[in-house]
Amino acid sequence: MTQLEYALSGIVTKEMKIVAEYEGVDEEFILEGVKKGEIVIPSNINHKNLIPKGIGRGLSTKVNANIGTSDAYPEIDKEIEKLNVAVKAGADAVMDLSTGGDINQSRRKILENSPVPVGTVPMYQAAVESMYKYGSIVAMPEEFIFEVIEQQAEDGVDFITVHCGLTFESLKKLKDNGRVMDVVSRGGSFTIGWMLYNDKENPLYEHFDRLLDIAKKYDITLSLGDGLRPGCLEDATDSAQIQELIILGELVKRARETGVQVMVEGPGHVPIDQIEANVKLQKQLCHNAPFYVLGPIVTDIAPGYDHITAAIGGAVAAAAGADFLCYVTPAEHLGLPDMEDVKEGVIAAKIAAHAADIAKGVKGAKEKDLTMAKARKALDWDEQIKLSIDPDKAFKYRINKNVSTAKTCSMCGKFCAMKIVSEYLGTPPMTC
């Protein structure tokens, strides 16, 4: 049985108990959220070392980090290092987006070493292997994509991005509307190229029931991908994007009726004033399914700083109701991230997620900041570093700046203005 089927039967699973304890909420709250499909717990029955995480309504906003090998960088050990860096920095999930080297071995090694949920985009592997087996991506037999999905499911992948909303209907909207950047989703472009070349409907849409059978067998959470997500601000919230979202909403209902957990992916590049509307539209059209967003990136002119542009958009999106942020690193649009880029990307997304959790009233979020404020007033530097989102960096700055840790004011001495204010307010002494 899947987590959703257990919930519909009124059974609290061990995974639900772990999520409830982590979030500081009642088990019944998690049970009801999973039952309604508003919370998902990606947890493949074959991922043995998994510490489950919940994603969705009323829970802390989660962060994903992308890793994976390529032809240029096929070393699996380096991706395991990135996995460890991401998890240490606070990533709640990782996606193995390998497109080169030994893709099967890379995925299995990541699963073996990952305590957090692992996701993939099966079309990546299917496309790469089709080039070798069949001569091109568009020559891929329909059967092959399902073979790859089944293999990844058997290995223990917890959630998969599948671009099921790409249909000839949505492609017509894309062509009629026109775009500056056309299609920027890699998996989406593979799928569309296959459809157009073979003049056939998207097999992941046409044979969605078969996909559901695989997902149900292993309790994989489907992450319905946005193959028509905007790749620049000019293309945001157009008819093609919305048409795909409408189709995904229909598929959400079909997945839930089958007992399969499902979430929905979103944009992309979005002007800051359109983000809230995008989130509310997704929640309405997709029946409050958990929303997984890439960024959103709020300006196109900051290469090298897109972890910041994405954090700005991510904070706005999550405050409006998005549940899961995919990190963006400083290397976005420029190249592949190194270890430091991975850490910077995760930290930026974690800051966005926490800022949004305060706005959403997520249990325990505001209290963290209050505890930090009290430590600052007490000049308790050790506690401040301990409470920070990146203790290593906070410690480095504290040591390198060589600031005195004395609790008396070096500027005002016994006549410290802050002391006078504290005495007037009747609070513990504080120095400037």
From first CA to last CA, the distance across the chain in angstroms is 60
Contact 240/188 with Cβ under 8 angstroms? Answer: no
95 is in an annotated binding site: yes
Query: How many angstroms separate the most distant Cα atoms in the chain?
Result: 82
> Is 100 labelled a binding residue?
no
Read off the pLDDT of residues 155-174 as tens digits, 9 standing for 90 and up. Answer: 999 999 999 999 999 999 99
Q: Is 370 annotated as a binding residue?
A: no
187 is known to lie in a ligand binding site = yes
Q: What pLDDT does residue 201 have?
A: 98
Domains of the chain: which residue ranges? 43-360, 383-425
The verdict on whether residue 124 carries a ligand-binding annotation is: yes
269 is in an annotated binding site: yes
307 is in an annotated binding site: no
108 is in an annotated binding site: no
3-state secondary structure of 263: strand
**Strand 262-266 and strand 324-326: pairing?**
unpaired
> What confidence score (pLDDT) does residue 421 get?
72
422 annotated to bind ligand: no
43-360 CATH fold? TIM Barrel (3.20.20)
Q: 179, 132 in Cβ contact below 8 A?
A: no
Is 32 labeled as ligand-binding? no
State which residues of the chain have pLDDT below 50.
406, 410
Q: What is the chain's alpha carbon radius of gyration, rounded to the nearest angstrom? A: 23
Phi-psi region of 295 (alpha: psi -120 to 50; beta: other; left: phi over 0): left
State yes or no: 185 annotated in a binding site: yes
Which DSSP string do the residues of 37-70 spell out, in sequence order?
Answer: TSEE----TT-TT-----EETTSPPEEEEEE---
Q: Is 207 annotated as a binding-site member?
A: no
What pLDDT does 425 receive?
Answer: 79
Q: Is 294 annotated as belonging to a binding site?
A: no
Does the annotation list 409 as a binding residue? yes
The DSSP secondary structure of 119-174, one letter per residue, reads EE-HHHHHHHHHHHHTSSGGG--HHHHHHHHHHHHHHT--EEEE-TT--HHHHHHH
pLDDT number for residue 401 = 62
The structure's pTM equals 0.94
